[in-house]
Amino acid sequence: MTTQDLPATSSRRRRNIARCRSIGDLRSAAKRRLPRAVFDFVDGGAEDERTLRGNEDAFSRLRFQPRALVDVSAVTTETTLLGAPSSLPIVVAPFGAAGFSWPRGDHASAAAAAAAGIPYAMSSTASVTLEDIARCHDGRRWFQCYIFKRREITAELIERARSAGFEALMITVDLPVGGNRERDYRNDFSVPFRYTARNVRDFAFHPGWALSTLFHGMPTMANLTSFEGVSDVNTAASTVGRNYDPSFDWDDLEAIRDGWKGKLVVKGIARGEDAARLARMGVDAVAVSNHGGRQLDGALPSLFCLPEIRAAVGDRMEVFLDGGIRRGADVAKAIALGADAVMIGRAMLYGIAAGGGTGADRAVEILGQELRRVMQLLGAPRLADITPDLIARADLMAAL
Amino acid sequence: MTTQDLPATSSRRRRNIARCRSIGDLRSAAKRRLPRAVFDFVDGGAEDERTLRGNEDAFSRLRFQPRALVDVSAVTTETTLLGAPSSLPIVVAPFGAAGFSWPRGDHASAAAAAAAGIPYAMSSTASVTLEDIARCHDGRRWFQCYIFKRREITAELIERARSAGFEALMITVDLPVGGNRERDYRNDFSVPFRYTARNVRDFAFHPGWALSTLFHGMPTMANLTSFEGVSDVNTAASTVGRNYDPSFDWDDLEAIRDGWKGKLVVKGIARGEDAARLARMGVDAVAVSNHGGRQLDGALPSLFCLPEIRAAVGDRMEVFLDGGIRRGADVAKAIALGADAVMIGRAMLYGIAAGGGTGADRAVEILGQELRRVMQLLGAPRLADITPDLIARADLMAAL
Amino acid sequence: MTTQDLPATSSRRRRNIARCRSIGDLRSAAKRRLPRAVFDFVDGGAEDERTLRGNEDAFSRLRFQPRALVDVSAVTTETTLLGAPSSLPIVVAPFGAAGFSWPRGDHASAAAAAAAGIPYAMSSTASVTLEDIARCHDGRRWFQCYIFKRREITAELIERARSAGFEALMITVDLPVGGNRERDYRNDFSVPFRYTARNVRDFAFHPGWALSTLFHGMPTMANLTSFEGVSDVNTAASTVGRNYDPSFDWDDLEAIRDGWKGKLVVKGIARGEDAARLARMGVDAVAVSNHGGRQLDGALPSLFCLPEIRAAVGDRMEVFLDGGIRRGADVAKAIALGADAVMIGRAMLYGIAAGGGTGADRAVEILGQELRRVMQLLGAPRLADITPDLIARADLMAAL
Amino acid sequence: MTTQDLPATSSRRRRNIARCRSIGDLRSAAKRRLPRAVFDFVDGGAEDERTLRGNEDAFSRLRFQPRALVDVSAVTTETTLLGAPSSLPIVVAPFGAAGFSWPRGDHASAAAAAAAGIPYAMSSTASVTLEDIARCHDGRRWFQCYIFKRREITAELIERARSAGFEALMITVDLPVGGNRERDYRNDFSVPFRYTARNVRDFAFHPGWALSTLFHGMPTMANLTSFEGVSDVNTAASTVGRNYDPSFDWDDLEAIRDGWKGKLVVKGIARGEDAARLARMGVDAVAVSNHGGRQLDGALPSLFCLPEIRAAVGDRMEVFLDGGIRRGADVAKAIALGADAVMIGRAMLYGIAAGGGTGADRAVEILGQELRRVMQLLGAPRLADITPDLIARADLMAAL
């Protein structure tokens, strides 16, 4: 990555980031820096945001019963994901909003993942091209792809990902149509920005973001600019999904499976039976996800889908989980209930918005430190020691 | 319908309605336009309003587990209700408050239902006559009837409904006496309006509503004006139920059943055994309802009555549900638990109060759009695909 | 009762009382009229007031499933309690605080009970003598008695009750020592009043109460003034229980049972096994009670004790319940779970404090009206129709 | 103890302490006297403080069903702990924060425990030496020890404890690394104090504490000052655990067990299987604890661990519990669920911070008075009468 790709973080901002001790602190810093409409786009969910809140609440309802007197002097968070090593059971989730958070912020996530030794899943709607990412970062790279109505777009994107050496393809299946994200409508959040009176005032109160964005330009969906009639109308956040193909089904996925030689991950699964069918198809991993509460409001928190899905697939495929990860303890809870890894979206975006590359690094660092400490306090020096019995049975709380 | 029947919606108000993206937005707009006492009459419930809130909370406690990879390019919400087609599994519920929300607002609901292709259930206490409705609207029309102490009123109303071509009769059985609606008492809400100092000030702060109502006249119970001694004392919202007959029982219903050749719906059922008895009597449909929390405070949310009632009647009769429907997702949840359709009361009234006919159309449009989107996100392209297994089992949340 | 016994209610206050439509309204009126320290003494409970709140919350957690199409034109709340008729399944609970709420306020409860045709249970710590009550009121009268360390006091009180013609004796067993009522300590609430700066200011802000109390004199425990060394030190609210006998046990109760020819009620029972033993002893009724949350904070809400206790005693004895009754619906819920009647303490005290005799009458009137309406809405024209199946099973709410 | 060891409590402060009627009142007094950073160090927990709050909430969720008609004139709270008598089922928990709350505040706890006749568990990180404690107080003394990376420190501390006549050794096993206490980081709380602008202002607003602390000197970890390189860097609250040995395991504990002739207690156990293994090893008692919510946020409230642990060890060892004890009723609940005694940490610290020795005495006095009253109200005159059936079964609340 070259410095002109990702604007540097000022030293004052770097000091602020260093003082952030939790993902919550990074979120607060992001909220201060971003215009309200941009923050809401990152932070918000669909309709009444019940699933958004439910994802986080689910973690807070589980309780640990730690093991005592285990030698935890040598804790390791290392694991194998999709056949290759990862320093943490964490994957950077694909998200299209990085460019709104920091100019060409996708480089920040990719660099942070590479530096930390964890996989980076690039979004097909990122603000930089997949070839750029491949050229600038030597870490593990996965490519997330939506299914477009014009199928040739999907085909060409997959071919470009193959040719750029992405090791895994991640197909998102919970976005046949866009979610009903009312915050964005209320904020008139769309691209290209309509410079309404409210927007301009919002920007004026956040000069750091505004000057930087004016200087570097509004983000585009760089991977799609070569497709006529897509990128220009499709960049509107409020029209997300308009070009996605609601007819995409099991047969279409099978065709993709047949044409892709690398690893294949399907993201957006909430049912054991769907996961089992994917396993039978030879898909390598499933990502339990409700798109961070941005699609179907009322969807079951992804953590609560996890036991059913792990039971359905056994050890025939890897299981990832996203939605609501804000603490190292959340990572441990997901693993205890059957996940191989979690994927972090907002946690990373808060970091990027708070301080570009410095913030992205800090987000991964915080979660890693918290996870290691939690493993020591749990008496679980390796990830394999984070077993379901570390989670207290519900009847201990309710049945007294 | 002629324009003098339903005052037009100003263009400014039409723009406001277009910006409303949810029933909640329409409610906010209604709250701004209506005097407090009128809004409370529409919005409020009995006593401590536990059932009122419970109806909405019940929906928020259910969680979806959507199906992935289903072709949802062709979603249809069409269904058959009482033997005839409906474009949505939605019926406009009967309510007497439309005239307070907009001059002759009943025409707004009837027109919106006809335009959307869904049934309209007219209230016997509407502000326009049933003959007016029959003359002005060519959609599907059902007639709701209370049982009056003077039984000849009921008989004559039913005869008029038959002669005006209403296809179904809906008998409300949860109002043997009026509910204890304390907001109305606190607001001195009654008809004819006593012009107390508080009322006048309340009106002065809502000039749009006040001028329109002064110009078009206070609403009356138009169907009842021909009955001496009923309509004048009976129009008081706070004396609702005073003329209803608490002795009405199974035998009386049987007599109505025998005398009515069209479809018969009984509204206000909360128990499986009552629904089963209605099925044995040959009643065509039951409406699971607690009168929107306006009658017995403490009644079980109607959604929670639904599984027991569907189990009791099997497929021998249709089951409708009202109470708490604010989102398309709520419609889907009711269907998943066994309803054939939902009935919308407040959702429609908020629309009417916010913008007359434009608001009524918008209320149906919003719920239809939301329902279609939810069906796509659920992987359920037809209503028959919204099966109970799409609702997460409670133990997934509680038993971890 | 003579007018000098109970100060009249002013016409302005009578109008205010008439506008109160719920016990909650009476509570608000009481809060305005009483000094803070006095209101807290009436309204408060022990320690963290968990049981106080729990009593009310318990009712709010039950949900009705009403019966439809029952003839409810002739509703009756009449019942038989302790072998004699009562117009309502309601008993006025014994309480010592009436005199603080209104000069000689005990006459207000006694008169309201007599006028309504329900039993009045007089407290041994009332502000008027039992002979006064017997002389002034011709309704049903029960006498509540604490067990004093000086047993001759208890014996003499019981003898006086017998000779004054009280039909039942109610022994309170949940006050072996006084509860830890921290509001009273914080408010320096004690008798004789120490005129602290805070008290005087509190009184000055409540001149209606203060002038009336100054004119009529601070209340005393009139039944106890003949016992040297008891009434003077014992009138302090904050020292409640100091003279009660913590050694009182089953044998002592047996002795009382043997010496009293009238009906015997034991108040303050929370366990089925205790109730069953009382039934075997020949006690006529048990009052399920936690002393309104004023004694053991953390005690199970009395409503939740009820099913176990009814199951333990079958129909061998009557079961009353107090604690948290604020609505007619609460009375119906208690009956559905097995109570023969409820006892009202605070509901009556709020009425007395709000408006003396007028307020006391209004409290009974409100609960009676609400109960009749609820019975009509439940499809339960007689108390015997309020069966357990009218309460929704918990799994209807939780197990979806 | 000599007067120069523990600064006296002023007469004004003694009057304030006398007015405190609950541990909550002592907490409020402590909050007023202590600088914010110091109060937070005492009061706070790890990360989101879910376990901190959960510990207290757990007690509030249990409900009593008291026994009636038991002679409770002679209540005794006496018991036997580790083979010797205690006047209460309460042990003063080890804590290092006493010196921050009051100059040499450890003497206050030791003296209060001795005066009350209950055991005092001294912390290895106390602000006074164990030899000082042994010389000044003749009550029962236990010595708590952390396991240091430099094992010779642990060995020497244990030897000093033996030689100073401490009867029991308590090994803390839930601190292999320090917890993530974010309040301390936010407050820049560390020792030696960095005199930041914020700290100085904080001190200026709490002159009572500041003058006293300046006069008597900042507390040190007196037991560790003889070990070069430990006490100076190790006194920082924010670096707690940095010198503790995360490799300490079952074998190491066995070695300690073999070398110590007195009673042995292991503190920080949350699982039945761990407690059973300790019982097999011959450990005398286990302290169920999550370190007051200061270590693993998300740990199950210790009260909810208790039934499993008691079931696992039967009567082979004593079981203590700490975490969330704020009322005498909490002590009774812990005993009902299987504890032999509770340990009080914050409850005592609030007392010390509020008023030195006077406050420490008051904390024990309040809990003792509350416990005796609760036992009387429960109908349980001896601790053995506090049986599990006094706790209401959960289904009484949930299953209606």
The yes-or-no reply on C/D contact (3 CB pairs or more, < 8 Å) is yes
- Look at C48 and D21 and tell me if their CB atoms are within 8 Å: no
> What is the β-pairing status of strands B263-269 and B285-288?
parallel
> Average pLDDT of D227-256?
74
HEC profile for chain D? CCCCCCCCCCHHHHHHHHHCCCHHHHHHHHHHHCCHHHHHHHHCCCCCCHHHHHHHHHHHHCCECCCCCCCCCCCCCCEEECCEEECCCEEECCCCCHHHHCCCCHHHHHHHHHHHCCCEEECCCCCCCHHHHHHHCCCCEEEEECCECCHHHHHHHHHHHHHCCCCEEEEECCCCCCCCCHHHHHCCCCCCCCCCHHHHHHHHCCHHHHHHHHHHCCCCCHHHCCCCCCHHHHCCHHHCCCCECCCCCHHHHHHHHHHCCCEEEEEEECCHHHHHHHHHHCCCEEEECCHHHCCCCCECCHHHHHHHHHHHHCCCCEEEEECCCCCHHHHHHHHHCCCCEEEECHHHHHHHHHHHHHHHHHHHHHHHHHHHHHHHHHCCCCHHHCCHHHECCHHHHHCC
**How far D27 CA sits from the closest chain C CA (Å)?**
15
> Average pLDDT of A281-306?
97
Choice among A160-174, B60-74, B146-160, D384-398 with the minimum mean pLDDT? D384-398
CB A347 within 8 A of CB A325: yes
Where does the pLDDT of residue D272 fall: very low under 50, low under 70, confident under 90, or very high at 90 and above?
very high
pLDDT digits (tens, 9 = 90+) for C19-55: 999 999 999 999 999 999 999 999 999 999 999 999 9
> Average pLDDT of A100-122?
97
pLDDT of residue A97: 84
Mutation target vs C (from D19, D65, D396; most C CBs, 10 A cutoff): D65
Contacts of B396 in chain A (CB under 8 A): 300, 304-305, 307-308
In the numeric block, the tokens 């206790």 are attached to C309
CB B366 within 8 A of CB B118: no
- Look at A68 and D274 and tell me if their CB atoms are within 8 Å: yes
Where does the pLDDT of residue A231 fall: very low under 50, low under 70, confident under 90, or very high at 90 and above?
low
Instruction: Give SS3 for B240.
Output: coil
For C269, the enclosing helix (H) or strand (E) is strand C263-269
Backbone angles phi, psi at D136, to 5 degrees: -90, -20
Bridge partner list, D322: D343
DSSP notation for B307-328 = HHHHHHHTTSSEEEEES---SH
More confident residue, C115 or B229: C115
Rg (CA), chain C: 20
Choice among A192-206, A226-240, D123-137 with the minimum mean pLDDT? A226-240
Using CA atoms, how far residue C397 sits from A55, A337, B51, C145, C223, in Å, is 22, 26, 13, 43, 50
CA distance A221 to A223: 6
What is the greatest pairwise CA distance in chain A? 64
Q: Is B390 on the interface with C (CB under 8 A)?
A: no
CA distance C96 to C21: 26
Among residues B107, B137, B206, B291, which one is catalytic? B291
Bridge partner list, A318: A285
Choice among A6-10, A255-259, D93-97 with the minimum mean pLDDT? A6-10
CA distance A357 to B212: 60
More confident residue, D179 or B220: D179
CB A400 within 8 A of CB D391: yes
- Look at C250 and D60 and tell me if their CB atoms are within 8 Å: no
pLDDT digits (tens, 9 = 90+) for B276-334: 999 999 999 999 999 999 999 999 999 999 999 999 999 999 999 999 999 999 999 99
Angle made by CA atoms D342, D344, D349, in degrees to the nearest 5: 175
pLDDT of residue A3: 45
In the numeric block, the tokens 């200011």 are attached to C201
Of A246, A274, A298, the CB nearest to B63: A298
D240 has a pLDDT exceeding 70: no
pLDDT of residue B238: 44
> What is the β-pairing status of strands C79-81 and D168-172?
unpaired
Of D68, D396, D398, the CB nearest to C173: D68
Backbone angles phi, psi at C335, to 5 degrees: -65, -40
Where does the pLDDT of residue C195 fall: very low under 50, low under 70, confident under 90, or very high at 90 and above?
confident
Angle made by CA atoms B148, B154, B158, in degrees to the nearest 5: 155
Contacts of C301 in chain D (CB under 8 A): 63, 397
CB B155 within 8 A of CB B16: no
pLDDT digits (tens, 9 = 90+) for C64-96: 999 999 999 999 999 999 999 999 999 999 998
**How far A216 CA sits from the closest chain D CA (Å)?**
35
Residue of A110, A146, A112, A155 whose CA lies nearest to A131: A110
The yes-or-no reply on C/B contact (3 CB pairs or more, < 8 Å) is yes
CB A322 within 8 A of CB A78: no
Residue of A178, A125, A268 whose CA lies nearest to B376: A178
pLDDT of residue B6: 82
The complex scores an ipTM of: 0.95
Where does the pLDDT of residue B173 fall: very low under 50, low under 70, confident under 90, or very high at 90 and above?
very high
Amino acid at D323: G
> Average pLDDT of A190-204?
75
CB D319 within 8 A of CB D339: yes
> Average pLDDT of A142-154?
93
C104 has a pLDDT exceeding 60: yes
In percent, the amount of chain D with pLDDT more than 70 equals 93
For C178, the enclosing helix (H) or strand (E) is none
Q: Is C251 exposed, middle or buried (0-12, 13-18, 19+ CB in 10 A)?
A: exposed
Q: Is C190 exposed, middle or buried (0-12, 13-18, 19+ CB in 10 A)?
A: middle
- Look at C377 and B176 and tell me if their CB atoms are within 8 Å: yes
pLDDT of residue C240: 56
pLDDT of residue B46: 97
DSSP notation for A347-390 = HHHHHHHHHHHHHHHHHHHHHHHHHHHHHHHHT--SGGG--GGG
Q: Is A52 on the interface with B (CB under 8 A)?
A: no
Where does the pLDDT of residue D334 fall: very low under 50, low under 70, confident under 90, or very high at 90 and above?
very high
Choice among A255-259, C167-171, D230-234 with the minimum mean pLDDT? D230-234
Where does the pLDDT of residue B166 fall: very low under 50, low under 70, confident under 90, or very high at 90 and above?
very high
pLDDT of residue C218: 84
Neighbours of B319 (CB within 10 A): 23
In percent, the amount of chain D with pLDDT more than 90 equals 80
- Structural domains for chain C: 11-394 (3.20.20.70)
Q: What's the distance, CA B134 to chain centroid? A: 19
CA distance A241 to B20: 21
pLDDT digits (tens, 9 = 90+) for D184-216: 888 888 655 667 788 788 888 898 898 888 888
> Average pLDDT of D14-30?
97
Where does the pLDDT of residue A395 fall: very low under 50, low under 70, confident under 90, or very high at 90 and above?
confident
pLDDT of residue D228: 66
CB B330 within 8 A of CB B296: no
Choice among A1-5, A41-45, B128-132, D210-214 with the minimum mean pLDDT? A1-5
DSSP annotation of C94: P
Contacts of D400 in chain C (CB under 8 A): 61-62, 304, 307, 337, 391, 394
DSSP notation for C36-70 = HHHHHHHH--STT-HHHHHHHHHHHH--B-PPPS-
Bridge partner list, B120: B92, B141
Of A54, A246, A296, the CB nearest to B374: A296
pLDDT of residue A198: 80
> What is the β-pairing status of strands D79-81 and D84-86?
antiparallel
In percent, the amount of chain A with pLDDT more than 70 equals 93
Using CA atoms, how far residue B197 sits from B34, B160, C21, in Å, is 17, 41, 21
> Average pLDDT of D349-360?
97
pLDDT of residue C228: 66
Residue B323 Rama label (left phi>0; alpha psi -120 to 50; beta): left
For B259, the enclosing helix (H) or strand (E) is helix B250-259
Of B182, B300, B337, the CB nearest to C22: B182
- Look at C337 and D400 and tell me if their CB atoms are within 8 Å: yes
Neighbours of D130 (CB within 10 A): 24
Backbone angles phi, psi at D51, to 5 degrees: -70, -40
Q: Is D22 on the interface with C (CB under 8 A)?
A: yes
Task: Enumerate residues 6+ apart whose C-beta is below 8 A from C4.
Answer: none
> What average pLDDT does the structure give for chain A?
92
Rg (CA), chain A: 20
Choice among B316-325, C5-14, D136-145, D364-373 with the minimum mean pLDDT? C5-14
CA distance C317 to C323: 20
Instruction: Give SS3 for A246.
Output: coil
B7 has a pLDDT exceeding 70: yes
pLDDT digits (tens, 9 = 90+) for A333-346: 999 999 999 999 99
**Which tokens is B106 given?**
């009943």
Where does the pLDDT of residue C199 fall: very low under 50, low under 70, confident under 90, or very high at 90 and above?
confident
